[in-house]
Amino acid sequence: MSATTPQLATTVHTFTQLLSSTRRGARLARLLAAEQLRAWPVSPGVTERAEQIVAELAANAALHGRVGSRDFRLTLTLDTAAGQLRIAVTDARGERLPSPPADCGPSPDTESGRGLLLVTALADRWGVEPYPPSGKTVWAECACETPAPDTHSERI
């Protein structure tokens, strides 16, 4: 007689979209991410953090990662078993790597340069990976607990 061990169902949700390397493409990335995350089992607090992270990474891809008419890619991956949301933005400029915020703190008078400080504050961790042949992927991860199903129901 053989017995099987019950396994938790692993659900991985993925969303990927190519967007133009423009300010409009960066704005659309944020809007699409917000809409997608609201459709997934993600708490509102994590959705708000992720929306801001997407906005910063997409703006950086459009501003610093732009090469000609090449697009950038937004990928969202939610692993419900691991309780983790991964945000990844891939652009075409692999030679222009972001500097850690401690190395490049902006002066108080500048109007920009704080995006990665926000990502550092909002994400549990972030990093950069090469994307051959010439691009890079900047990613951020947020721990998240998927909302528990409502087990309380009113009885009439």
What pTM did the predictor assign?
0.81
pLDDT of amino acid 155: 44
Instruction: Specify the 3-state DSSP secondary structure of 6.
Output: coil
pLDDT of amino acid 103: 52
> Where does residue 74 fall: left (phi above 0), alpha (psi -120 to 50 degrees), or beta otherwise?
beta
pLDDT of amino acid 153: 45
pLDDT of amino acid 74: 98
Domain 12-101+114-143 CATH assignment equals 3.30.565.10: yes
User: What would the pLDDT profile of 70-107 be if each residue is shown by its tens digit?
Assistant: 899 999 999 999 999 999 999 988 787 776 666 555 55
Burial of 9 (C-beta count, 10 Å sphere; 0-12/13-18/19+): exposed
Residues of the chain with pLDDT under 50: 151-156
Q: Please, are residues 13 and 40 in contact by the beta-carbon 8 Å criterion?
A: yes
pLDDT of amino acid 105: 55
